Amino acid sequence: MGVSQQQIPGTGTPLVERMANVTQTPLNPGDSPLVREALSSVVSRETPAATQPAAAQPGGTGSEGDGSWPRPAKCRVIAVANQKGGVGKTTTSVNIAAALSMHGQRVLVVDLDPQGNASTALATEHRGDVPDVYQVLVDDLPMADIVKQVPEMPNLYCAPATIDLAGAEIELVSLVAREARLRRALAAYEEVEFDYIIIDCPPSLGLLTVNALVAADEVMIPIQCEYYALEGLGQLLRNVDLIKAHLNPTLRLSTIVLTMYDGRTRLASQVADEVRSHFGDTVLRTVIPRSVRLSEAPSYGQSVMTYDPGSSGAMAYMDAAREIAHRAIVA
Ligand SMILES: Nc1ncnc2c1ncn2[C@@H]1O[C@H](COP(=O)(O)OP(=O)(O)OP(=O)(O)O)[C@@H](O)[C@H]1O
Ligand SMILES: [Mg+2]
């Protein structure tokens, strides 16, 4: 039995019901009891380091005072990429997106991985013949036909991926403008004015990831604080440079986030030091710790922000999202 059919203990609402109840609720974070409760819990436990003042973006509005973060002058499209598997791409995409949405940002998560993990974590149906990113990329279906609002998260939307997307890597090869199909679909999507579009990439450097990098302004790379963490990073960075040179001149590596940090091991701090010495301020000050709550949340169809807002993982992702929201864009 799939997770979407189970009544999962402790959730109150079965996941399948949560998926069915996708309604257009007003775009105000305060309107969702789940968000309200989560925010009060996280805000009351925010770490002092996280509230250090940072330069607001030019043209941004809003402030910490009213619970909202500065909105970017134009939509920031961020590809979360690393061809290494299991480094925290999806966990980072989903939780950063949820945190931003809870602070007044309108956020779309594009699930570009046939595994559909981001769709699962955001309680967005992605099985059977649900229209998905595959149809947008291959069949030219408008983005508006697949995007769903995430249940109980008024500012958060998801473009789901079904297993069909696995075929896209091959089918895209013969299509016109195969590298720019996501970019084109997002450009034509005007129904909702987003502040952030976060693209969760698959663990490969194939055409799906290329589509993400061509559609994005920024690349965010999660790096797991483990041995071999930097393996393959050079190849990813070369790909980013190639795409910048030939397909998307405005692309930039804006953010590196250190994930699954285990403070008890010397190795984790060595990896973190090494990454910081290479990449300097591109690396978020906030480090994401290992937290079992982060791995539990998706099976409840939730981000950790609502599943356990007081957990170390939720607080870290909230801090990381705040850093991202306050970072000025330097072209
Ligand atoms: N900080 C963390 N603490 C504990 N578990 C984590 C953490 N971050 C991620 N995980 C777990 O590690 C696994 C891999 O994480 P995730 O799915 O986010 O990685 P990924 O890079 O998206 O993987 P893939 O390459 O398969 O898409 C998942 O089971 C997730 O729940
Ligand atoms: Mg993933």
The Å distance, Cα 190 to ligand 1 centre, comes to: 32
Instruction: Give CA–CA dist 20/117, Å, rounded.
Output: 18
Task: Kindly list the structural domains of the chain, giving each domain's residue range(s) and its CATH number in brackets, ordered by start.
Answer: 5-16+72-326 (3.40.50.300)
User: Phi and psi (nearest 5°) for 288?
Assistant: -90, 120
Is the pLDDT confidence value at 50 over 80? no
pLDDT of residue 33: 57
**Residues lining ligand 1, Cβ inside 6 A:** 85-91, 113, 115, 117, 203, 259-260, 288, 290-291, 294-295, 313
The Å distance, Cα 117 to ligand 1 centre, comes to: 10
Question: Which pairing describes strands 218-224 and 76-80: parallel, antiparallel, or unpaired?
Answer: parallel
Which ligand 1 atom is the nearest neighbour of the CA of 316?
A: 1
Mean pLDDT value of segment 115-143: 95
- Residue 146 to residues 20, 100, 141, 158, 194: CA-CA distances in angstroms? 15, 22, 8, 8, 16
pTM for this one?
Answer: 0.84
Among all bound ligands, the one having the nearest atom to the CA of 320 is 1
Is the pLDDT confidence value at 329 over 60? no
The answer for residues whose C-beta is within 8 angstroms of residue 224's C-beta and 6 or more apart is 84, 86, 87, 88, 259, 260
pLDDT tens digit sequence for 199-230? 999 999 999 999 999 999 999 999 999 888 88
pLDDT of residue 190: 84
CA 17 to chain centre: 24
The Å distance, Cα 174 to ligand 1 centre, comes to: 33
pLDDT tens digit sequence for 94-125? 999 999 999 999 999 999 999 999 999 999 99
Is the pLDDT confidence value at 28 over 90? no
3-state secondary structure of 221: strand
The Å distance, Cα 142 to ligand 2 centre, comes to: 24
Is the pLDDT confidence value at 23 over 60? no
3-state secondary structure of 36: helix
pLDDT tens digit sequence for 67-97? 789 999 999 999 999 999 999 999 999 999 9
Sheet holding 196-200, edge to edge: 148-149, 156-159, 107-111, 196-200, 76-80, 218-224, 252-259
**How confident is residue 35, by pLDDT bands cut at 50, 70 and 90?**
low
Is the pLDDT confidence value at 296 over 90? yes
Mean pLDDT value of segment 42-55: 36
pLDDT of residue 176: 87
Is the pLDDT confidence value at 20 over 60? no
Please answer whether residues 121 and 80 qualify as being in contact, where contact means their C-beta atoms are separated by less than 8 angstroms. no
- Residue 186 to residues 69, 108, 159, 197, 272: CA-CA distances in angstroms? 24, 10, 11, 9, 34
